[in-house]
Amino acid sequence: MEGKVFHLLEYGLYILGSKEGDKYNAQIVNAFMQVTSEPPRVAFALNKGNVTHDLVKESRVFSLSILSEGVPLDFIGKFGFRSGREGDKFLGVNHKFAKNGCPVVLDYTLGYLAGKVIGELDVGTHTLFVGEVEEGEILGEGVPLTYSNYQKIKKGVTPKRAPTFIETKSEEVKGMKRYVCSVCGYVYDPEEGDPEHGIAPGTAFEDLPEDWVCPMCGASKDQFEPEA
């Protein structure tokens, strides 16, 4: 089967949060959809190895922050490539809590939903949760971030624990060598540079400042390896 056919499916890119007691966490999700309007119900998939998965499973509550397409790549990386086991993802992030106690991100967010889990299905590496929305609010105007925008415009990569992750072989490119982040898989392409962080197109990896970090996950320059 040609795995790339799945790339034709369109998704949004959101931050899904949950809590249990005094502990709360959130992660990037793309497998989230509305399934009915009355009552308002949704479905979403979470990897069993993620902290947020365990919180949702235990507390049966969730929140969803709907991101704007103007969100920076490193902000997505904060919630997509860093584990809640390693530190507080919300440090330095404007947020509030929904009525059910789940965190809602306010930065780069157009609106949010919050509700309770009413069902679940084990689908292997992930759990598919069905939820009923009990709260929702529009926070700003803009265009919601889609997965295709994230991949094609922002050059974002897919975490290995994401339900849409498909392992692909890197393609040989002409010109300067590309380098891959060993932490998150982000590919630095000299032809494109990193304009968002002041790196002009045409800048070789070797010429990057020593304090340059991965725009996706924040890994240092020495954690990059030449693309095979």
Tell me: the pLDDT tens digits for 134-183? Answer: 999 999 999 999 988 887 765 544 544 445 444 544 444 456 899 998 88
Return d(Cα 228, Cα 225) in angstroms, integer.
Answer: 9
End-to-end CA distance of the chain: give it in Å, rounded.
24
Return d(Cα 103, Cα 25) in angstroms, integer.
Answer: 7
| 81-107 pLDDT tens trace | 777 887 899 999 999 999 999 999 999
| 53-80 pLDDT tens trace | 999 999 999 999 999 999 988 899 889 8
Phi and psi at residue 83, to the nearest 5° = -85, 145
> For the chain, how many helices (H) and strands (E)?
3, 12
Confidence at residue 171, expressed as pLDDT on a 0 to 100 scale: 45
Class (C level, CATH) for 10-152: mainly beta
Phi and psi at residue 56, to the nearest 5° = -65, -45
Confidence at residue 154, expressed as pLDDT on a 0 to 100 scale: 55
According to the per-residue pLDDT averaged within each range, which of 135-144, 192-201, 208-217 is highest? 135-144
The answer on pLDDT for 4 being more than 60 is: yes
Phi and psi at residue 46, to the nearest 5° = -130, 140
Token pair in block for residue 43: 């479905």
* Sequence letter at residue 97: F
Confirm whether pTM is higher than 0.85.
no
Confidence at residue 150, expressed as pLDDT on a 0 to 100 scale: 80
Q: Give start-end residues of each CATH 2.30.110.10 domain in the chain.
A: 10-152
How many other C-beta atoms lie within 10 A of the C-beta of residue 77? 24
Q: Give start-end residues of each CATH 2.20.28.10 domain in the chain.
A: 179-226
Q: Closest Cα to residue 111, out of 132, 134, 91, 141?
A: 141
| 24-50 pLDDT tens trace | 999 999 999 999 999 999 999 999 999
Burial status of residue 105 (CB atoms within 10 A of its CB: 0-12, 13-18, 19 or more): buried
Average of per-residue pLDDT values in the chain: 88
Residue where the block lists tokens 């809640």: 84
Q: Closest Cα to residue 165, out of 25, 28, 15, 18?
A: 28
Confidence at residue 34, expressed as pLDDT on a 0 to 100 scale: 97
| Least confident among 38-42, 113-117, 211-215 | 211-215
Confidence at residue 165, expressed as pLDDT on a 0 to 100 scale: 45
| Statement: 179-226 belongs to CATH 3.40.50.300 | no
Q: Answer yes or no: are the C-beta atoms of 190 and 178 closer than 8 Å.
A: yes
Confidence at residue 226, expressed as pLDDT on a 0 to 100 scale: 92
The answer on pLDDT for 14 being more than 80 is: yes
Q: Answer yes or no: are the C-beta atoms of 37 and 43 closer than 8 Å.
A: no
Q: Answer yes or no: are the C-beta atoms of 20 and 84 closer than 8 Å.
A: no
Return d(Cα 191, Cα 205) in angstroms, integer.
Answer: 10
Confidence at residue 182, expressed as pLDDT on a 0 to 100 scale: 87
